[in-house]
């Protein structure tokens, strides 16, 4: 039995859940999310708890069991609390700013990089070296954060680039003059 899949999801007071034609819809104060269900799993709602059960014991059913339990849990958390990813920029002259609805990044290239986020995600720059990405869909927030990070990944010698706030960049020692 999947340890994650068998745990019930607590339904928040503000969240409403609806299952129709193999599509689960969760709505709350921050918005609405939908997810198509696979035939290997089924979702049941009883006294404030959501349980995900699988049809049989095949390998795919076991894999989908834990996956869809976490997807439903993330949907409930997203519509009630939301998700936020924080990116940190380090490097001389590296900075970010919002220009209307575009994120303008100066990352040491010969040009600025302009990034437009999807409508479901909001981007904020509290200061020139911090970017905050927030939204209700955890996968989309992570995908946008990874895309912004990909413009200049942190390099191991000086640590310059864009990194996640909880990311640890392993530093390497530079070249040393050898004896002949």
Residues of the chain within CATH 3.90.930.12 domain(s) are 9-80, 83-164
- Would you state the pLDDT for residue 176? 83
Summarize pLDDT for 87-109 with one digit per residue, the tens.
999 999 999 999 989 999 999 99
Q: What is the mean pLDDT of the chain?
A: 92
Q: Which of 1, 6, 2, 19 shows the shortest CA–CA distance to 52?
A: 6
Given CATH 3.90.930.12, say whether it is the number of domain 83-164: yes
> Do 72 and 8 contact (CB within 8 A), yes or no?
no
Alpha carbon 100 to its chain centroid, in Å, reads 24
Distance, CA of 177 to CA of 180 (rounded, Å): 10
Q: Report how far residue 10's alpha carbon sits from residue 49's, in angstroms, rounded to the nearest whole number.
A: 5
CA distance readout (Å), 151 to 21, 140, 147, 175: 40, 17, 7, 26
The sign of the CA dihedral 136, 140, 144, 149 is: positive
What percent of the chain clears pLDDT 90, i.e. is strictly above it? 81
CATH code: domain 9-80 is 3.90.930.12
89 CB-contact burial (10 Å; exposed 0-12 / middle 13-18 / buried 19+): buried
pTM for this entry: 0.89
Please state the rounded mean pLDDT for residues 17-44: 93
Rounded to an integer, the average pLDDT of 117-124 is: 94
Residue position matching structure tokens 């909001």: 122
Amino acid 24: pLDDT: 94
What is the pLDDT, as a whole number, of residue 179?
67
Q: 12-22, pLDDT tens digit by residue?
A: 888 999 999 88
Q: Check: CB of residue 1 under 8 Å from CB of residue 51.
A: no
H or E element in which residue 52 lies: strand 49-54
The tokens describing 26, both together, are 């969760």
């Amino acid at each position: 039995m999947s340890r994650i899949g068998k745990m019930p999801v607590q339904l928040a007071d503000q969240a409403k859940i609806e299952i129709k034609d193999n599509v689960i819809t969760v709505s709350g104060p921050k918005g609405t999310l939908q997810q198509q269900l696979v035939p290997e799993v089924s979702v049941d709602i009883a006294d404030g708890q959501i349980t995900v059960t699988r049809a049989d014991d095949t390998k795919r059913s076991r894999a989908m069991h834990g996956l869809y339990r976490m997807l439903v849990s993330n949907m409930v958390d997203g519509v009630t609390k939301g998700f936020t990813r924080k990116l940190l920029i380090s490097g001389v002259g590296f900075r970010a700013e919002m220009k209307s609805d575009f994120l303008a990044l100066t990352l040491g290239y010969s040009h600025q990089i302009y990034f437009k986020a999807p409508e479901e995600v909001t981007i904020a720059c509290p200061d020139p070296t911090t970017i905050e990405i927030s939204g209700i869909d955890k996968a989309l927030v992570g995908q946008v954060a990874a895309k912004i990070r990909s413009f200049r990944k942190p390099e191991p010698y000086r640590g310059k680039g864009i990194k996640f706030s909880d990311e640890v960049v392993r530093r390497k020692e530079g070249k040393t003059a050898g004896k002949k």
